[in-house]
Amino acid sequence: MNPKVRTPSQSPTSAEIISALRPDGTLDPAHDPGLSAQEVEYLYRQMVMTRQMDERLVQLQRQGRIGFHVGSLGEEASILGSAFAMAKQDFLFPCYREFGAALMRGLPLQKFIDNMFGNANDTVLGRQMPNHTTCREVGWCSISSPVGTQITQAVGFAWAAKIQKKNASALVYFGDGATSSSDFHSGLNFAGVFKVPCVLLCRNNGWAISVPVERQTASKTFAEKAAAYGIPGVRVDGNDIFAMVSVTRQARARGERGEGPTLIEAITYRMGGHSTSDDPKAYRTADELEQWAARDPIERVRGYLTKQGAWDDERERALVAEIDARFKDAVSIAERTPSPPLESMFEDVYATAPWHLVEQRQQLLSGPRAPSSH
């Protein structure tokens, strides 16, 4: 095993990391978010939905039916737990790994799958890579690939909400690699100075593509970077959905009270590749993955529900079958939907198209076409 890579046993002591779900399946009262049985089951179903989507989308990419997928295998608790803790009027600023949170907040599954195919029903009309969704109706901001840019955008939203005296907060997701970006510094500095209601969530999943956390920073933790900006930083077990809900709720409440932002470092692990274009076997060992797989966030919640008598194998099979049917239906519709029309590339830029774009559009539509597609 690569000694430079942090494993669960090498992580700082549990006293430094907030957790709620104990090994025996009970909850620590100090960090129990007080979820009802129905809420826990709902979150579990959303986690399984996200995992199942991941597995099926990877298969589609390998079959050549979609071009790309960014998964969240192993990080479902950090993503869904934090999103669940936010209010309906809040806006989420994703990285590109958080599609499960978008679905949970109300992004229609068909719209998500349409985006994966980039067809005419895709909200962004095929102009973005797959997984780069947007849905204003559910407070889900457009995703862009440049590392860290969403941090300053989220802080800007939170500042606007504060100026307008709206009860709205921002939650922004970013990986450990984004902490090396200028947007991380700019965003946290501005957020701290103006005390904006923003939850800054760093998913420390061990790797920034192939760069381990030990090569990313010389600081002991990412949470301690918050001190430089005059804001609190907290570390939480990112594979513990109960702890994620509890910590995020507290961070949001702090912002709502006018006390400013909070930096959360969620300790989790990316059990899959960075994307379908990545082979993690080239830079990490099977032993490392095996240790983290033993802390699978979905299995931990399932264990809790089973202990409560609220889940069993029959319910699991029924859930997977339901997800499979919904997925197949959405893919069938997406594959039958035509590509975006050529002229759509000139839309949504200007309220009134300038003359030169009108001219270019006319030339494009009247010109010769490739025989297979556009």
Ranges of each domain in the chain: 8-340, 342-374
Handedness of CA 21, 22, 24, 29 (dihedral sign): negative
State yes or no: pLDDT of 372 exceeds 50. yes
Question: In the Cβ-directed half-sphere of 372, how many Cα atoms lie within 13 Å?
Answer: 0
Q: Does residue 65 surpass a pLDDT of 50? A: yes
* CA distances to 271, 272, 273 from 281, in Å: 11, 10, 9
Would residue 270 show up in a list of annotated catalytic residues for this protein? yes
The 10s digit of each residue's pLDDT in 198-257 is 999 999 999 999 999 999 999 999 999 999 999 999 999 999 999 999 999 999 999 999
Q: Is 283 a catalytic residue?
A: yes
pLDDT per residue as tens digits for the range 25-50: 999 999 999 999 999 999 999 999 99
Average pLDDT taken over every residue of the chain: 93
- pLDDT of residue 290 exceeding 50, the answer is yes
233's tokens: 């930083």
pLDDT for position 44: 98
pLDDT band at 265 (very low <50, low <70, confident <90, very high): very high
Mean pLDDT of 269-284: 94
Fold of 8-340: Rossmann fold (3.40.50)
The interaxial angle of helices 109-117 and 313-336, nearest 10 deg, is 50
Q: Please pick, among 51, 69, 97, 270, the residue that the annotation labels catalytic.
A: 270
| pLDDT of 116 over the 80 cut | yes
Q: Which of 283, 284, 315, 361 is catalytic?
A: 283
* Whether the predicted pLDDT of 311 surpasses 80: yes
Residues 309-315 have a mean pLDDT of 97
Full-prediction pTM beyond 0.85? yes
Q: Sorting pLDDT into bands at 50, 70 and 90, what band is 145?
A: confident
Mean pLDDT value of segment 185-199: 98
Looking at residue 373, its pLDDT comes to 53
Which among 31, 105, 274, 295 is annotated as catalytic? 274
Residue 10 clears pLDDT 80, i.e. is over it: no
Phi and psi at 135, nearest 5°, equal -160, 90
Residue 62 has pLDDT above 90, yes or no: yes
Average pLDDT over residues 361-369: 88
* 173 catalytically annotated: no
- Ranking 3-12, 248-257, 293-302, 309-318 by mean pLDDT, the lowest is 3-12
pLDDT at 356 > cutoff 90 = yes
226, 62 in Cβ contact below 8 A?
Answer: no
User: Which percentage of the chain shows pLDDT scores above 70?
Assistant: 95
Q: pLDDT band at residue 307, thresholds of 50, 70 and 90?
A: very high
Say if residue 84's pLDDT is above 50.
yes
pLDDT at 326: 98
The 3 state secondary structure assigned to the chain is CCCCCCCHHHCCCHHHCECCECCCCCECCCCCCCCCHHHHHHHHHHHHHHHHHHHHHHHHHHCCCCCCCCCCCCCHHHHHHHHHHCCCCCEEECCCCCHHHHHHHCCCHHHHHHHHHCCCCCCCCCCCCCCCCCEHHHCECCCCCCCCHHHHHHHHHHHHHHHCCCCCCEEEEEEHHHHHCHHHHHHHHHHHHHCCCEEEEEEECCEECCEEHHHHCCCCCCHHHHHHHCCCEEEEECCCHHHHHHHHHHHHHHHHCCCCCEEEEEECCCCCCCCCCCCHHHCCCHHHHHHHHCCCHHHHHHHHHHHCCCCCHHHHHHHHHHHHHHHHHHHHHHHHCCCCCHHHHHCCCCCCCCHHHHHHHHHHHHCCCCCCCC
Dist CA 169 CA 64 (whole Å): 39
